[in-house]
Structure 1
Amino acid sequence: MARHKGAADGKTFEIPRPEFPKRAVVTGGMPYGNKELHFGHVGGMLVFADTYARFLRDRIGKENVIFVSGTDCYGSPIAEGWRKKAEAGEFEGTLEDFVRRNHEKQKETLKAYAISPNLFGASGLGRTKEIHAEYTLQFLQALYDKGQLNQISTMQFFDEKAGVFLNGRQVTGKCPVEGCTSEKGYADECDLGHQYMPENLIDPVSALTGEKPIMKPVTNWYFKLRDYEKLMQEWVAELQKDKAIRPVVWKTIGEFLKPPVIYIKREFEEKYLSLKEQMPAHRYLEEPKKPSFTIEFDALPDCDAACRILTENGIRYRTGKTLVPFRLTGNIEWGVPAPVLEGTEGLTVWVWPESLWAPISFTQAYLESQGQPREAYKDYWCSKDAKVYQFIGQDNIYFYGIAEPAMWMAQQASAEKTCDPPEGELQMPTIVANHHILFLDKKASSSGAVKPPMADDLLNYYTPEQLRMHWLGLGLGQRSVSFMPKPYNPDADPNEQDPVIKDGLLLSNVYNRIIRTAFYTLQKLNGGILPEAAPEEKILAEAKKAVLDYERHMSKFAFHQCTYVLDGYIRNASKYMSKALKPDEQTEAEAMQVLSNLFYMIRIAGILLHPMAPIGTEKLQEYLQVDDRIWSWDTIFEPISYFTGAKHQLKFLPPRTDFFTRHESQFAEAGEA
């Protein structure tokens, strides 16, 4: 427990240390297979997933943590991306070749940033494809057998000129959901994740021909998402009690747990009144100060019927956020085959639902690769002793925070579903959603007007650990923050320091200097043999406070707070070194005591930094000549000698050796190259 002073009476009280699961899965949202990774994939989400996975490996044992992510191979964005590049002569090869190339490049980027999933799979390639296809059939068949699916006939866009049905991003228009700020709406969802019926898309255009498509009827399988409104409300109530869950998660989920509504411009009010009696039963909501009025329904089919009446009579409207049936299948050829249900053949699974259970498929694939049975995935996904942490961007909360938990509940064997699943059933995930990481104060996306820099390109200006530390310190868990790299910023003040470099100075300057000074002094005074004196009590107390503060913040995914803890601890260590280490004025015993204290501080800072800056800290491990036990939180307060024994010889540190470097271009800019 951590000891703190009370505000009123000055007495101390104990803060319980956070509890962590016995086993954990960490997932990072899956990037599409139509492109390489841009900075948002890495800096907005995957670095955070990797940092937490590394922390858990140190905290509960690496054998108990599985970190999975992978390339989202299927769907219209990938097929359309390949078609455009092939037509333009920018790519030669099959659609699968296209996806494979991008998958391999994504893996290379992750390696360059020291992002270390146990498995970075691909839903449409190799063994992970086979396992994912098998699990998809099992998952959907189980939903069907439990009565959780409906066949619904809807209208789908059809390009008469091309003679084909259009899916997903093969259609663009404006999102019909009231208040939506997305740049693009697609066939039945916008780029912010809002769901709607295809016929409600405003001003649709075919991406294939540029023509306005017509609508033709199709039949697909849908998950009965609306049946889970009450259970989702109960789950949201539990999320609100959990201080580790970011408000953006439960607030966004809550926005959809409302009755279906239609917003109509006031200029059409008289026309609406003339049609009111033709519409299903609804309530008129008086909101005099708004430019539109609202009508509310008890049932979604009634709302849909009213929409058709309004459309037929030329009345402009938008629908509100609500739960709608969640489409599971489609007729796009490039997709995971759907099971044949009630004789319906030739369907594939829509990319969004299958990407939600893809991490389960990937967990199975990883376990199989380690010689374990695939069914052992249940020890991670279906156990009360385990937790699943899913790192995503806020745009994807609808899928991970609504569709996924509802489908997980639907898989329960009991007819009485619960948001607190019993042992053996899929457990509710812990959603860790970051706010938007902006680029030069604008929201950037590959499909939007502002294009983000690719993650690999940033490495022409910065080291991976400079970028990791900068992104982790932005506070994306609290608000949207702009990434302002100076080489990309035309408005940057030439006299001001690059914010990325500035955040990296704690390691490249301060911590580096502490480590080098300690090593060089020890090499000079004691031949590089570790001091045997125990760290002093004051040093132990400061370390304990830093460790417990860091642990508490990490348990709440407050990565920026963890960087603050490290900043304070490392700078205090630097001040201590400057004040206390004076070997020319001290006896050998006094100098050895100071060095013992310093190496303890170096160790504590190293273990706290290990999840964030693994390259430099593992180089430190190499020079300390210790094994991986150095990272275990089971012995976090022990000195280095605990792992080595007496007379431990450190690896010789040559002059001007850095553990945390700056990028070579930064030396050139400073006139040092």
Structure 2
Amino acid sequence: MKDNRRQRPRPEFPKKAVVTAGMPYGNKELHFGHVGGVFVHADTYARFLRDRIGKENVIFVSGTDCYGSPILASYRQLVDENKFEGTIEDYVRQNHNKQNEVLEKYEMSLNLYGASGLDKPGEFHKEVSEEIFNKLYENGYLTKLSTPQFYDPEHKVLLNGRQVVGKCPIEGCNSDKAYADECSMGHMYMPNELIDPKSILSGKTPELRDVTNWYFKLDEYNDVLKDRIKNLKENSNSRKYLLNTIEEFLKPPIIYVKRKQLEDDLADIQNKLPKHTIIDEPKKPSITFIFENLEDRDTARDVFDKLGIRFRTGKTLVPFRLSGNIDWGIKVPEKEDLENLTFWVWPESLWAPISFTKTYLDSIGENPENWKDWWQSKDSKVYQFIGEDNIYFYGIAEMGMFLALLGINKDSSLDWENINLPHLIPNNHVLFMDKKASSSSDIKPPMAEELLDYYTAEQLRMHFLSLGLAKKSVSFTPQVFMKEEDRQGPDTVLKDGNLLTNVFNRLIRSCFYTSQKYFDSKIPMGEVDEKILEESKEAILNYERHMYNHDFHRIVYVLDSYIRKMNKYWVNNMKKAEADEDNELREKVLITAFHGVRTAITLIHPIAPDSCKMVREYLNVNENIWNWDYIFDNIYSFIEDYDNHKIKYLEPRIDFFEKHESQYK
């Protein structure tokens, strides 16, 4: 049969790749969302790339986000309550170690899980932070701004970002928490825009006092980023909702005012405002005021404030704050008499993966400065897996700063083909029992380690990949956390894992037992059934395309369809062979089934690595079985000496893909 499918255009992958996963804060253990919402997807892709382009060509890094006001606040609270003894470094290290241990239990294959404030990664991160600041400063991309910061007069202290809560001022935002200058949905605004602010120390309305900090001129990158989004829409497989979310922030400065406040004197008010245009649609409750720049918008805000008119602002780019004044942070280089500042945690966490890349290269004896070959070379690509709430920081602030570091600005000629920026893969929320859960909300998420008391890591990995977080937020509903009366039907968490522990496990065992019983533990030599051969190639090509597009739920569908077809082939044909005592048919079925097992374990390898490794060892084949250079080869290609080859003897009741011990009760 002519192989037309082999001629199908296949996606191209880079020669080298860096994979990163969002950084958990250093004041907490990992909950299910950290693992199921980001790390499982990042690890699966990193493992696939190692198989696809070579493990020496892939670096997978992440780490603990050590700095920031939430960590300092948590530490102080525990010390005040006599629940922790030791320094803040001790506190962060304790949480970092716990995070690392849990990631290992989930079979994560990180080349480095560092900590931005500890040990060698912390040293590199301090150097990188200073280098980036100095380069941005020297090239004119930074500005000093005196902006209001909240001050609690009762406690006589300036309040850090998480010590103030209120309502987000961005029109249409439904955030359940808004802090001094950012909300839980990732919207950025100036502190004096926060609605109904309250100090968490005193519970009272804080004062505003001007404080000077360093800001990156992010607002100057509006047009550049618009052009980048246009290019990504036309020339990339970036997720549509990522690009749409970024575009929402690239609008001109806008103010929304309820119509009922303006109906009588709109013309008079307009005369007091800077140059602007308005959108006045009678059916809408608000009138939209559009300004040419941030300065004009802020002047208009003052006008509305003096007139006692309430308003909301729209999403737009504002200068991105780089510094703050909390003690627990990396010191900002002193410039222009600005002293005793530390980096705000968000900007330094954006370049932390570069610090981790340098740390890893140093650990294997390479020059740390070779990080540029991984982050900036045309032959390499950086894949950053993030949560949807962080799109502003990674998709806008990070891209703006990275463009500035490359010397690209609003006056540059934009040749996107030669500008290598990270590729973002954002996931929607993993809900818990249909509700958004976080350690700072009323609904507390189960810890990632706690789930391993009821499910295996590979069952959970399969399930989290199947949720389809690329498309929408999906609920994680493990029955073990439900009341008995609320449990209906089978546990959905086990559905996709059962494909491995039941269907595929049964097929592999059948192959081994049949070989042992009838063929002296040999894999018979012969031709694979042509129909199965074609279905195997189709599964491989579909899997590859979905992996390229990071459509992990579709990968699970491909595996489900292929494994069930192989199982059906085995049952129908082996039943006939046994009934007729037809050893020739039995041999043909076994040859074909072993090809199915060979294909399936290569595709499953990035998802359930330890179990697939066990299958490979029992097959007694070499590690090239994972190598996609040989993806269409049959199993004989991986046997060193066929004449003397035998599979490893499989004892009765041995499972390759095991269920959790609690599931056997």
Matched residue, 2:170:
177
Deviations 1:284-330 (A, max 9, x none): 22022222222111110111122123223332111100011111111
The letter of the residue matching 1:107 is: N
1:664 aligns with 2:650: no
Deviations 1:157-212 (A, max 9, x none): 11222222111101111111111111111111011110010011111112223232
Matched residue, 1:515:
508
Matched residue, 1:636:
631
Range moving further from structure 2, 654-663 or 44-53: 654-663
Question: Is the contact made by 1:56 and 1:62 (CA closer than 8 Å) also made in structure 2?
Answer: yes
Matched residue, 2:229:
236
Question: Is the contact made by 1:177 and 1:320 (CA closer than 8 Å) also made in structure 2?
Answer: yes
Range moving further from structure 2, 191-200 or 614-623: 614-623
Question: Is the contact made by 1:262 and 1:318 (CA closer than 8 Å) also made in structure 2?
Answer: yes
Matched residue, 2:438:
445
Matched residue, 2:597:
602
Matched residue, 1:376:
370
Matched residue, 1:208:
201
Question: Is the contact made by 1:30 and 1:72 (CA closer than 8 Å) also made in structure 2?
Answer: yes
Question: Is the contact made by 2:376 and 2:421 (CA closer than 8 Å) also made in structure 1?
Answer: no
Question: Is the contact made by 1:264 and 1:294 (CA closer than 8 Å) also made in structure 2?
Answer: yes
- The 5 A counterparts of 1:530-541 are 530-541=523-534
Question: Is the contact made by 1:419 and 1:428 (CA closer than 8 Å) also made in structure 2?
Answer: no
Question: Is the contact made by 1:409 and 1:417 (CA closer than 8 Å) also made in structure 2?
Answer: no
1:403 aligns with 2:397: yes
Matched residue, 2:354:
360
Deviations 1:34-54 (A, max 9, x none): 100111111011100001001
1:477 and 1:242 map into 2 onto residues whose CA distance is: 19
3-state SS in 1 of match to 2:176: coil
Deviations 1:247-300 (A, max 9, x none): 110000000111111111223214665544333222222022222222111110
Deviations 1:517-558 (A, max 9, x none): 111111112232222224233332221111001101111111
Deviation of 1:92 (Å): 2.0
1:574 aligns with 2:567: yes
Question: Is the contact made by 2:431 and 2:473 (CA closer than 8 Å) also made in structure 1?
Answer: yes
Question: Is the contact made by 2:167 and 2:196 (CA closer than 8 Å) also made in structure 1?
Answer: yes
3-state SS in 1 of match to 2:134: helix
Give structure 1 stretches of 5+ with no counterpart.
5-11, 669-673
Matched residue, 1:260:
253
1:86 aligns with 2:79: yes
1:53 and 1:419 map into 2 onto residues whose CA distance is: 30
Q: Residue 379 of structure 2: which of 374, 385, 400 is its match?
A: 385
2:491 and 2:582 map into 1 onto residues whose CA distance is: 43
- The 5 A counterparts of 1:37-48 are 37-48=30-41
3-state SS in 2 of match to 1:100: helix
Q: How many residues align?
A: 658
Matched residue, 2:276:
282
2:25 and 2:6 map into 1 onto residues whose CA distance is: 49
1:504 aligns with 2:497: yes
Deviation of 1:422 (Å): 7.3
Over the aligned positions, Cα root-mean-square deviation in angstroms equals 1.9
Deviation of 1:339 (Å): 1.6
The letter of the residue matching 1:305 is: T
The letter of the residue matching 1:591 is: R
Question: Is the contact made by 2:231 and 2:416 (CA closer than 8 Å) also made in structure 1?
Answer: no
Range moving further from structure 2, 434-443 or 395-404: 434-443
Deviation of 1:444 (Å): 1.3
Question: Is the contact made by 2:228 and 2:416 (CA closer than 8 Å) also made in structure 1?
Answer: no
The letter of the residue matching 1:545 is: E
Matched residue, 1:551:
544
Matched residue, 2:648:
651
- The 5 A counterparts of 1:99-138 are 99-138=92-131
Matched residue, 2:303:
309
2:356 and 2:350 map into 1 onto residues whose CA distance is: 11
Deviations 1:626-671 (A, max 9, x none): 3322100001122222121313121111111111122222222xxx
Range moving further from structure 2, 400-409 or 623-632: 623-632
Deviations 1:311-362 (A, max 9, x none): 2333211110001111111111111111222232211111111111100110
1:247 and 1:448 map into 2 onto residues whose CA distance is: 29
3-state SS in 1 of match to 2:425: strand
Relative distance call for 1:268 and 1:114 in structure 2 (3 A) is same
The letter of the residue matching 2:227 is: E
Question: Is the contact made by 1:68 and 1:362 (CA closer than 8 Å) also made in structure 2?
Answer: yes
3-state SS in 1 of match to 2:601: helix
Deviations 1:30-87 (A, max 9, x none): 1111100111111011100001001100000010000111111100011111122222
1:329 aligns with 2:323: yes
The letter of the residue matching 2:93 is: R
3-state SS in 2 of match to 1:127: helix
Deviation of 1:371 (Å): 0.5
Question: Is the contact made by 1:335 and 1:351 (CA closer than 8 Å) also made in structure 2?
Answer: yes
The letter of the residue matching 1:384 is: K
Report the TM-score, using the length of structure 2 for normalisation: 0.96
Matched residue, 2:614:
619
3-state SS in 1 of match to 2:382: strand
Q: Residue 469 of structure 2: which of 442, 455, 476 is its match?
A: 476
Question: Is the contact made by 1:231 and 1:418 (CA closer than 8 Å) also made in structure 2?
Answer: no
Question: Is the contact made by 2:460 and 2:493 (CA closer than 8 Å) also made in structure 1?
Answer: yes
Range moving further from structure 2, 439-448 or 58-67: 439-448
1:642 and 1:422 map into 2 onto residues whose CA distance is: 39
Range moving further from structure 2, 284-293 or 49-58: 284-293
Range moving further from structure 2, 607-616 or 234-243: 234-243
2:161 and 2:17 map into 1 onto residues whose CA distance is: 34
Deviation of 1:461 (Å): 1.4
The letter of the residue matching 1:49 is: A
Range moving further from structure 2, 648-657 or 546-555: 648-657
1:601 and 1:201 map into 2 onto residues whose CA distance is: 59
Question: Is the contact made by 1:157 and 1:187 (CA closer than 8 Å) also made in structure 2?
Answer: yes
Matched residue, 2:425:
432
1:191 and 1:90 map into 2 onto residues whose CA distance is: 28
Deviation of 1:493 (Å): 4.7
Matched residue, 2:290:
296
Relative distance call for 1:418 and 1:360 in structure 2 (3 A) is farther
Question: Is the contact made by 1:641 and 1:648 (CA closer than 8 Å) also made in structure 2?
Answer: no
2:413 and 2:292 map into 1 onto residues whose CA distance is: 23
2:78 and 2:433 map into 1 onto residues whose CA distance is: 28
Relative distance call for 1:548 and 1:330 in structure 2 (3 A) is same
1:272 and 1:95 map into 2 onto residues whose CA distance is: 55
Report the TM-score, using the length of structure 1 for normalisation: 0.94
